[in-house]
Chains A and B, each alone.
Chain A
């Protein structure tokens, strides 16, 4: 753990510094996470769980910025395209 508080005059200490990025970047990130995990075979509830979990800071922040409705719509569209389980291929067993 750093022993001292960050020195704001040190250009290498970026902690707490806001970098360029807008809501569009967050939206792009949400689309990418939803698409990647839909490609991996996650269904909509599991992807939504990833966005709800504060452990996954990137996805979680996107959900709070964009709201549940938009994130659900994003997940829905990705699962519709890539989710093989949505087409009935998922099996449950031992």
Chain B
């Protein structure tokens, strides 16, 4: 085991390989407050990459209803349960979240999936994990919003519910793809070294020629985003739509494009980009990069289950209405401050949130041109002041991609079009 620095945990951590970082890192921010589980992302991915025989159960992009749902079923509960057993004395985050980019969420005191040696079986195993059953893979979204139906009567649901007609509780929708982690568990576990992280953008890929389908990656990935394909007998995973990210998609005109799942998002919850890294793997200061701003300046976007230790590159703006203990478990100790800031956005955050989904081109920088005050009043007792600022997005070579305003004009297509909404 080597010692690598995990900035999300604020400490050095054990990992099977020496640290090595890409020049830029594929990363994304999802705003869970906006997600309505329309599954457009899911279907965009499915129709692009996993429509073939043998991939029927494979959903590289999925949206699950929390707290009940999961694809595969119970994935996070099962890995959290294993981590609980690996940390019999409990885990905690010490020191308060701070402005320090080396440890913005404090320091995690507990074993990660790479540090749970005593739990590993057999002795040759490198990562704490489990292999989901076929049954857990094959029914995404079933019974997530509604309780179970009658056994043996497919498609028929209880009129009043077995015990509840529906889940009478809070829920929210968690959109997920591969996190293209800085310390991928799939890569760490592969006995054939068939998994690699690209030096140019940090996208994690499985070399299909090298893979022999041992499924160690499926077992190790705590997010369960590496999947086995029975008819080819090798594993597959999200490829970060790398031809688009490289700017080689025929429709890109040579400009880096966001992935298919991002581009298809009608709720405008998604933004994907490539962030600059320091030599030590932390994010290089890039003040006018929208992802850097959301993660390191505004701190409204947080990693998914940072305690796993893989340093995931998917960041989430947490849902505002969900009980805080659940959110702290899912997104770490930065939750309270993130929600506070998101609920009361300053002028810059309000403008940056307008960048989501105005273009499919990857944004490398932004600038805000101040506009007039358009509203001053209250919302639910909170003071609200709005300015109609203009936010301008720039691409890889500094060219302007688009500009939009906080008070965005709405255009409605006339009813004579068949596809009018």
Stretch from B89-97, B239-247, B364-372, B410-418 forming part of the interface with A: B410-418
Do B143 and A2 touch across chains, with their CB atoms under 8 A apart? Answer: yes
In the complex the two chains form, what is the Cα distance from A92 to B421 in whole Å? 12
A16 contacts partner chain B, Cβ-Cβ < 8 Å: yes
Q: Which of B74, B154, B410, B412 contacts A12 (CB 8 A)?
A: B74
B17 contacts partner chain A, Cβ-Cβ < 8 Å: no
B284 nearest CB across to chain A (Å) = 31
On chain B, the residues within 8 Å of A78 by CB distance are: 379
A93 nearest CB across to chain B (Å) = 7
B68 contacts partner chain A, Cβ-Cβ < 8 Å: yes
Q: Which of B33, B154, B171, B414 contacts A92 (CB 8 A)?
A: B414
B229 contacts partner chain A, Cβ-Cβ < 8 Å: no
On chain A, the residues within 8 Å of B148 by CB distance are: 2, 5-6, 15-16
Interface set, chain A 54-68, CB cutoff 8 A to B: 56-59, 61
Q: Which of B33, B145, B164, B408 contacts A36 (CB 8 A)?
A: B33
7 pairs, A vs B, C-beta closer than 8 Å: A14-B67, A21-B323, A25-B322, A40-B34, A57-B166, A91-B410, A93-B414
Q: A58-B172, A81-B384 are in contact. Are A28 and B67 (CB under 8 A)?
A: no
Number of A-B contacts (CB under 8 A): 134
Q: A2-B142, A3-B135, A81-B377 are in contact. Are A14 and B408 (CB under 8 A)?
A: no
On chain B, the residues within 8 Å of A40 by CB distance are: 34, 267-268
Q: A84-B410, A90-B410 are in contact. Are A35 and B166 (CB under 8 A)?
A: no
Q: A25-B170, A56-B36 are in contact. Are A2 and B139 (CB under 8 A)?
A: yes
Do A58 and B384 touch across chains, with their CB atoms under 8 A apart? Answer: no
Do A61 and B166 touch across chains, with their CB atoms under 8 A apart? Answer: yes
Q: A15-B148, A16-B148, A21-B170 are in contact. Are A81 and B379 (CB under 8 A)?
A: yes
Do A1 and B139 touch across chains, with their CB atoms under 8 A apart? Answer: yes
B151 contacts partner chain A, Cβ-Cβ < 8 Å: yes
Q: Which of B68, B145, B168, B375 contacts A14 (CB 8 A)?
A: B68
The 7 closest A-B pairs by CB, nearest first: A28-B321, A84-B407, A16-B147, A29-B321, A21-B170, A21-B169, A57-B145
Interface set, chain A 29-53, CB cutoff 8 A to B: 29, 31-33, 35-37, 39-41, 43, 50
On chain A, the residues within 8 Å of B19 by CB distance are: none
In the complex the two chains form, what is the Cα distance from A15 to B412 in whole Å? 41
Interface residues, chain A, CB within 8 Å of chain B?
A: 1-6, 11-16, 18-21, 25-26, 28-29, 31-33, 35-37, 39-41, 43, 50, 56-59, 61, 77-78, 80-82, 84-85, 87, 89-94
B312 contacts partner chain A, Cβ-Cβ < 8 Å: no
A67 nearest CB across to chain B (Å) = 16
In the complex the two chains form, what is the Cα distance from A90 to B409 in whole Å? 6
Who on chain B is nearest to A28 by CB? B321
In the complex the two chains form, what is the Cα distance from A57 to B66 in whole Å? 12
Do A94 and B33 touch across chains, with their CB atoms under 8 A apart? Answer: no
Do A16 and B379 touch across chains, with their CB atoms under 8 A apart? Answer: no
On chain B, the residues within 8 Å of A35 by CB distance are: 379
Do A58 and B410 touch across chains, with their CB atoms under 8 A apart? Answer: no
In the complex the two chains form, what is the Cα distance from A85 to B384 in whole Å? 18
B318 nearest CB across to chain A (Å) = 11
On chain B, the residues within 8 Å of A36 by CB distance are: 33-34
In the complex the two chains form, what is the Cα distance from A26 to B409 in whole Å? 31
Who on chain B is nearest to A24 by CB? B321
On chain A, the residues within 8 Å of B167 by CB distance are: 16, 18
On chain B, the residues within 8 Å of A20 by CB distance are: 169, 323
Give a binary string over B368-393; 1 marks a CB under 8 Å from any A CB, 0 the rest.
Answer: 00000011010110001010000000
A19 nearest CB across to chain B (Å) = 5
In the complex the two chains form, what is the Cα distance from A33 to B34 in whole Å? 7
Do B33 and A77 touch across chains, with their CB atoms under 8 A apart? Answer: no
